[in-house]
Amino acid sequence: MSKKDAPKKLKSTCVAALKVVGSGAAVLWLVFTVQWDGFIDKAISTDWFMLSIALAVFSLWIWPCALRWRQIANASGYPVSLGEAAHGYLIGAFFSAFLPTAKGGDVVRGILLARRRSVSMGGVLATVFAERFIGLIVALFMVFLSSVMALSRHSEVKDVFFSAIGLVLFLFGLVLLYLNPSFRKLFSKFIHKLPLSRFQTATGDFAKVLDVCFNRPLLLLSAAGFSLMNQLVLIVSGFFIASAIPTFDAPWVSFFLVIPLNFIAVLLPSIGGYGIREASFVIFFGWFGVSEEAAVLFGMFQLLFFWVFSVVGGFVFMKGKTDASK
């Protein structure tokens, strides 16, 4: 290994170690927090009919996401059909489930589309970034609104309320910074001084996609609407999962707070979100009096649903590889 590669190797090792620590610490905390006898009792007493309804509702999550990506990609000059976008999300779910990162599948679906269409990888990845960023903003907005509704009954939520405000202001500040002409000029100068022409091209295409998104308010509004639909699907599915678990007594407003918060929590360093996902449900639903055992079971059922689509995505990926080799 050359001296130039050493810092990269050290950085990747540190990131991997941080992810292992994140998931490991969360799993250890769950092991010593949850009463596993009570967990088994609740699992045995699950209402499987309600759980099947939850799975049916959960299966709708892919369509708002696929519509959001297709809309942004098409507007940015990287046309993709609804079927391709849905397949991309399924393949992304497969890689997110089995790669050591909860969002690695997003990069994979972007790379696969760019290679299949022989277009700019930077541009396609920008469409992925843009639609995911919009989804994050919508999730934070829902956390903000639901925490306002929950503040009167649950004082613990006030920390979430102020944290959501802080994060929204930070992200809004980043957007304003990017829109500033002086910053854009400085950024462009910096990119064009880099010796790697491919990187320059990819970064330029990335910036063009962001320009398209920021200069079309109706496009942003429509993408936000699809993000809201996706969150509502997860919330309704979560409500049915909770209804299937004995003694899972949480107010309806909690699902509007907890589900988006979990989406944000999975962004923390971890191996595919494992451990972090389940621990976040224990903490968040605990604010509303839900037992640790019921909350962990809730998280595991939702994870099982995601695995179902991950396996489907694996078959879609393998079928695409087989068709390409013919």
Average pLDDT over residues 21-42: 90
Residues 6+ apart with CB under 8 A from 301: 51, 54, 241, 244, 245
- Within 10 angstroms of residue 148's Cβ, the number of other Cβ atoms is 14
Which pLDDT score is estimated for 130?
Answer: 87
Q: What is the pLDDT of residue 324?
A: 64
Q: What is the pTM of this model?
A: 0.83
Q: How many Å apart are CA 201 and CA 12, to the nearest integer?
A: 25
How many whole angstroms separate alpha carbon 109 and alpha carbon 117? 12
In sign, the C-alpha dihedral spanning 46, 50, 52, 54 is negative
Whether residue 5 is predicted with pLDDT greater than 60 in this model: the reply is no
Question: Domain residues of the chain, as ranges?
Answer: 59-320
Task: Specify the residue for token string 């970034």.
Answer: 129
pLDDT at 196: 44
Pick the closest to residue 62 from 269, 305, 253 (CA basis): 305
The pLDDT assigned to 35 comes to 92
Q: What is the pLDDT of residues 131-141, one digit of tens each?
A: 988 888 888 88
Which pLDDT band holds residue 308 (cuts at 50, 70, 90)?
very high
Of 193 and 251, which is predicted with more confidence? 251
pLDDT tens digits, one per residue of 179-200: 566 665 665 555 555 444 454 5
Q: Taking residues 153-158, report their average pLDDT.
A: 67
pLDDT at 180: 64
* Cα 50 from Cα 55, distance rounded (Å): 9
Q: Alpha-carbon torsion 211, 217, 218, 224, what sign?
A: positive
